[in-house]
């Protein structure tokens, strides 16, 4: 039996996410939850990326130390572009190359700081071996849900290379499922998944990370996707530990209060559950035609809407797309377009908001379901298509009908989809499911138990077993304890 003091020691955990805010924010949320237990976090990233993160509450600042590693220079990658939101799709491979250049400085940091654990992202394919050589236990923390990870990264042989290969259920998925990409979704990301020219593919990176890590932590929960979590355990033959859905916790309250005050005043004038909140994250890029159809669909729906709009183009240049002429004038009073920062959680929490029109990014999904908001989905890139299939299967989200080949959609399909989910009887299932899911996604006690399980029942046990059995060359893994309810 372990001594009581053994069970209460404090860990030092280093974290190294990919340079995308859709990755850094979940890592920071997990860091906050771990720090609340009294453990020390070293959060490693580049200076500009760290400076753009939300500010921590004062009680957590002493426990979360930000480690700034300057991003190495890479030819044709402009200075100060330190996150995916700064670059075009063609420049992401340059950002990955610069990120890989952090191997030497992060190794020096790990040698000097000697953390108990290192959590890293799928991109850092060279880091598991570095951690092992330094005697540091390592975990791949996946911000992708289990269904996405199982679909994309099997441990078994995988020779997929064409769009069609990613449009069907893989043979290693033993249960019925519609989780797969649609043609227009996979066509947009295929080159980054399988690689081109001399780039290191996303799938190779993820496979190497999974091969080399000691365990896999994943942003998921047994209540949401138990079949996919069990499949991951079968595929990888190493512990797969869900850490919960990570609904956002408070940062330092530096909201632009005047901005929120004016938004709230506008929302207060609208009827309960009548407003469509429209937001597609910080990186979604639409063509001019897509933006036009989206805007005219909102107008045609005749529903009140609040739209957080970013107008950078998807064309790979600096041109900005434009709203249709007269759109804001015609929808004045009924709709409001916000071109700057907006407090998404506060907006979603307002009782006038009934539907969230979203890109299916998982952080946005978690925020919506935490607050019982029904979802209408319009995928843009990355894992969003797989997220959407999961939600379609579970009747949590309704996808706007689109052309299978190019992903185009019409103003009529936008308007009809919004009215279906917001108003119609056949959309009631989505409204009801959102309320049902809030019991999982919004349960703070459940989230806390997942973090406790991750820390106390897994990380501590594994570290102690490794420490006590110095003669073994590989880490001895104790069976994963699951969280139920």
Q: What is the pLDDT of residue 334?
A: 96
Q: What is the pLDDT of residue 396?
A: 96
Question: What percentage of residues in the chain have a pLDDT greater than 70?
Answer: 89
Q: What is the pLDDT of residue 128?
A: 97
> 462 falls in which pLDDT band (50, 70, 90)?
low
Residue with tokens 């500009």: 48
CA dist 20 and 23 (Å) reads 5
Q: Within 10 Å of residue 325's Cβ, how many Cβ atoms?
A: 8
Q: What is the pLDDT of residue 456?
A: 79
Q: Is 51 exposed, middle or buried (0-12, 13-18, 19+ CB in 10 A)?
A: exposed
Q: What is the pLDDT of residue 282?
A: 80
40 backbone dihedrals φ, ψ, rounded to 5°:
-95, 135
Render pLDDT for 28-71 as a digit per residue (tens, 0 to 9). Answer: 999 999 999 999 999 999 999 999 999 999 999 999 999 999 99
Q: What is the pLDDT of residue 288?
A: 94
Q: What is the pLDDT of residue 3?
A: 40
Q: What is the pLDDT of residue 463?
A: 57
Q: Is 18 exposed, middle or buried (0-12, 13-18, 19+ CB in 10 A)?
A: buried
> 476 falls in which pLDDT band (50, 70, 90)?
very low
pLDDT at 243 over 60: yes
> Which parts of 209-304 are beta strand (E)?
215-218, 240-242, 275-278
On whether the CB atoms of residues 443 and 366 are closer than 8 A, the answer is no
Between strands 305-308 and 374-377, the pairing is unpaired
CATH 3.40.50.2000 placement within the chain: 4-247+443-468, 257-441
Q: Which of 81-90, 176-185, 235-244 has the lowest mean pLDDT?
A: 81-90
Tell me which CATH code domain 4-247+443-468 carries: 3.40.50.2000
Please give the span between the terminal C-alpha atoms of the chain, in angstroms, as a whole number: 27
Residue with tokens 């199982």: 150
On whether the CB atoms of residues 434 and 374 are closer than 8 A, the answer is yes
Residue 281 structure tokens: 């994250």
Measured CA distances, 365 to 239, 245, 382 (Å):
26, 10, 15
Work out the average pLDDT over 350-363.
97
pLDDT at 18 over 80: yes
CA dist 364 and 248 (Å) reads 10
DSSP string spanning 146-189? HHHHHHH--SS-----SGGGGSS--TT--S----S--HHHHHHH
Sign of the Cα pseudo-torsion (202, 50, 146, 421, in order):
negative
If we measure between CA atoms, which residue out of 441, 443, 368, 370 comes closest to residue 398? 368
Q: What is the pLDDT of residue 366?
A: 97
- pTM: predicted TM-score of the whole model, two decimal places: 0.91
CA dist 386 and 152 (Å) reads 10
Give the residue, 129 or 257, on which the prediction is more confident: 129
Where helices occur in 331-394 by DSSP H, the ranges are 344-349, 362-370, 384-393
Tell me which CATH code domain 257-441 carries: 3.40.50.2000
pLDDT at 461 over 70: no
Render pLDDT for 308-328 as a digit per residue (tens, 0 to 9). Answer: 998 765 444 445 789 999 999
Q: What is the DSSP letter of 320?
A: B
Q: What is the pLDDT of residue 317?
A: 43
> 340 falls in which pLDDT band (50, 70, 90)?
confident
pLDDT at 257 over 80: no
Measured CA distances, 439 to 62, 73, 227, 366 (Å):
32, 47, 19, 12
pLDDT at 368 over 90: yes
Work out the average pLDDT over 388-392.
98
Q: Is 157 exposed, middle or buried (0-12, 13-18, 19+ CB in 10 A)?
A: exposed
Q: What is the pLDDT of residue 470?
A: 42
CA dist 270 and 347 (Å) reads 13
Mean pLDDT score of the chain: 90
């Amino acid at each position: 039996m372990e001594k009581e003091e053994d069970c209460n020691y404090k860990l030092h955990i280093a974290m190294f996410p990919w340079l995308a805010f859709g990755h850094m924010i979940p890592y920071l949320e997990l860091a906050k939850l771990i720090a609340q237990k009294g453990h020390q976090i070293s959060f490693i990233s580049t200076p500009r990326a760290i400076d753009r993160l939300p500010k921590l509450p004062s009680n957590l600042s002493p426990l979360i130390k930000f480690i700034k590693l300057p991003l190495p220079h890479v030819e044709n990658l402009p200075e100060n572009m330190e996150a995916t939101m700064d670059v075009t799709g063609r420049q992401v491979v340059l950002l990955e190359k610069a990120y890989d250049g952090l191997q030497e400085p992060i190794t020096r940091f790990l040698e000097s700081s000697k953390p108990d654990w290192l959590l890293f992202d799928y991109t850092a394919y060279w880091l598991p071996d570095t951690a092992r050589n330094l005697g540091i236990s390592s975990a791949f923390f996946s911000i992708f849900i289990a269904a996405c990870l199982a679909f994309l990264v099997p441990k078994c042989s995988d020779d997929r290379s064409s769009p069609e290969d990613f449009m069907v259920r893989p043979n290693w998925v033993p249960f019925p499922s519609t989780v797969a990409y649609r043609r227009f979704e996979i066509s947009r990301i295929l080159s980054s998944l399988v690689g081109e020219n001399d780039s290191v593919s996303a799938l190779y990176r993820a496979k190497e990370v999974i091969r080399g890590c000691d365990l896999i932590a994943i942003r998921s929960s047994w209540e949401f996707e138990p079949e996919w979590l069990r499949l991951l355990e079968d595929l990888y033959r190493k512990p797969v530990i869900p850490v919960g859905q990570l609904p956002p916790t408070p940062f330092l309250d530096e909201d632009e209060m005047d901005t929120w005050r004016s938004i709230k005043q506008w929302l207060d004038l609208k009827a309960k559950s009548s407003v469509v909140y429209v937001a597609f994250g910080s990186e979604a890029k639409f063509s001019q035609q897509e933006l036009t159809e989206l805007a005219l669909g909102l107008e045609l729906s005749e529903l009140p809407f609040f739209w957080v709009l970013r107008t950078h183009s998807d064309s790979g240049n600096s041109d900005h797309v434009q709203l249709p002429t007269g759109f804001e004038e015609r929808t004045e009073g009924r709709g409001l377009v916000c071109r700057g920062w907006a407090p998404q959680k506060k907006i979603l929490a307002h009782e006038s908001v009934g539907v969230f029109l979203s890109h299916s990014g998982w952080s946005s999904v978690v925020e919506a379901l935490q607050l019982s908001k029904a979802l209408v989905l319009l995928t843009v890139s990355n894992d969003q298509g797989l997220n959407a299939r999961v939600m379609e299967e579970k009747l949590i989200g309704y996808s706007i009908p689109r052309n299978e080949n190019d992903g185009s959609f019409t103003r009529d399909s936008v308007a009809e989809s919004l009215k279906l989910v917001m108003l119609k009887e056949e959309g009631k299932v989505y409204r009801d499911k959102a309320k049902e899911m809030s019991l999982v996604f919004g349960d703070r006690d459940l989230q806390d138990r997942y973090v406790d399980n991750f820390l106390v029942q897994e990380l501590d046990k594994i570290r102690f077993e490794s420490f006590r059995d110095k003669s073994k060359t590989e880490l001895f893994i104790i069976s994963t304890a699951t969280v139920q309810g």
